[in-house]
Structure 1
């Protein structure tokens, strides 16, 4: 009996290890298809659109992409893949989600989805304008252009099927709170925190409504993360000890509660569609508070440079100290963005938690080898 218990314990430990190492693939029932994935929002899912803009918010240079295929800096704000890539991979669609503005984008890529996201965009229209990136209204216009190209390729009927059965990921809000509101005086004169989070939710609701009107039926909306625990916020507002800052976290939580309620109203209105609130705040905070259980050693600093403030153009090949020897031990790549390993863990956990809300109850999840 003791021997059996020991064997079972080892099996459980190995299973958890293999799951974290390999990831999950969503196995859909025969009558369910996900032909494509589309990503909108900010740098968390931008796979290279900012490369083609006249903005300082870009990362198409080393050390970004250090652990990407071939060590290439593709414009992903990370050392490797983004959540958009991992979700596309887990759904069995493709390994990477290309940027819509990629000059090498192939017609076949349009059939399986593209990324419209732009680093530093937000639900507040001012957020993108300040740094000259693609706001959500511009991303929506790009999506409309995409639909026209899709219809020209495969016709109205197949286009409608692709649009209605695909998965849409929306990730924004962090730059609104950390940069536009808390980081500048632009909005504070007109809005207090409750009013500003209302403005953000109106922007999110309007965007999701327009996606629905264009044919989207499966929409996942990421919450704001625990912004006060980002290395940059610890440095700017966390005092000498660089502790997590309560203020930004409380703003994020207020926004998240309003966003969740707005999505619930959307779902009551449209029985044929689902807008799923994806709570990244709790998942990321669990990693930050329990790093050892996920194999991390450093949570307060990024891997790039000193790890305290370097991000985008400040994270470069001349950054003091270069980059850390092993990014897999770090929760954050730079002072704002998680590492590839963190994203992979996060996506695996979120898929397990939320996939049933998008698809039928008999959807199952199985491990797969990358």
Structure 2
């Protein structure tokens, strides 16, 4: 009974997870190469990029309350799992498209917003459909159905030809997978009896591949699929599995690396099958690990705990108060980075990978 209670406690703390990524505080907007036009950014994934799609869902994977959003425009909690903007916003901002990328399910969404991109991500989701089912979040299948609905609306606004052009030239981003491993595989009893770690990561990659192919069929051509970050270095995983010294949990990082290698190979294979598309595997593992291991190099002081609460385990509804100086922290809560960290990673991503979408 004690073990079961611990697992349930871990699950409710853990399942809003999604993982670290993206960007440097920059004064200038990234200028795309002259021969590349990006009219819109369209994002799918989990809480790393959720901009509020979960706000009206019957799920505890929400953060539309203080202190989330304390550094967002006007100090407003919007359902973004951070103190401020998340990677989806920062991509649109740095590309000079718009200041934030709105959630598709935002009741205030306007028709004009559709022309420059929207966000379908849902906190606590994953590649594995079971992950989203457990958390009552939007699965990738759900997100794809919303994308189909979006395309129908886009055609009514812009016409068939213009809509096809927007889809073809938009930057499409997929960021998910961490919840599958940390929650569905390790914290629940549903998958381990049927899959060992290698076969489960292969299952994840198969879902990722199918999703990318579905996007292609719907007209997307510039698709960036992000790797998993070093999930063992999240503050909560340090607390749970890092021992007395709260070191990074090597087991989790090894699983992430195994998944990343398989995902990279699959993206290479898909590129050969679809030569008229730019399907880009994006390594976020190593840039994030460098920030975590060398925080002072990037202007941080604390990388082993979050700004929220004690910083050891708080996330979502457990996040009741914030630290005095968010800018000193790599992580906002025990799972999600601060806007400052995201800016570093997003900027680095655009500098390294933008030309790959030509």
TM-score, normalised to structure 2, is 0.92
User: How is 1:105-254 mapped onto 2 (pairs within 5 angstroms)?
Assistant: 105-254=109-258
User: How is 1:319-334 mapped onto 2 (pairs within 5 angstroms)?
Assistant: 322-334=321-333
Q: Is the 1:23–1:344 Cα contact (8 Å) retained in structure 2? A: no
- Aligned to 1:293, which of 290, 297, 303? 297
RMSD: 1.1
- Aligned to 1:40, which of 38, 44, 47? 44
> 3-state DSSP class of the match of 1:94?
coil
Q: Is the 2:24–2:341 Cα contact (8 Å) retained in structure 1? A: no
Aligned to 2:63: 59
CA distance in 2, matches of 1:200, 1:282: 20
| Distance apart, 1:274 and its partner CA | 1.0
| Distance apart, 1:31 and its partner CA | 4.2
Q: Is the 1:331–1:338 Cα contact (8 Å) retained in structure 2? A: yes
CA distance in 1, matches of 2:275, 2:265: 16
Q: Is the 1:24–1:348 Cα contact (8 Å) retained in structure 2? A: no
**1:83 equivalenced with 2:87 (yes/no):** yes
TM-score, normalised to structure 1, is 0.89
| Distance apart, 1:29 and its partner CA | 4.3
CA distance in 1, matches of 2:25, 2:193: 48
CA distance in 1, matches of 2:317, 2:197: 30
Aligned to 1:346: 345
Give structure 2 stretches of 5+ with no counterpart: 1-22
| Distance apart, 1:222 and its partner CA | 0.9
| Distance apart, 1:351 and its partner CA | 1.0
| Distance apart, 1:275 and its partner CA | 1.1
CA distance in 1, matches of 2:233, 2:347: 22
> 3-state DSSP class of the match of 1:50?
coil
Give structure 1 stretches of 5+ with no counterpart: 1-18, 317-321, 360-370
Q: Specify which structure has the bigger relative contact order, considering alpha-carbon pairs within 8 angstroms and separated by 6 or more residues.
A: 2
- Aligned to 2:282, which of 275, 278, 283? 278
Aligned length: 336
Aligned to 1:358: 357
> 3-state DSSP class of the match of 2:29?
strand
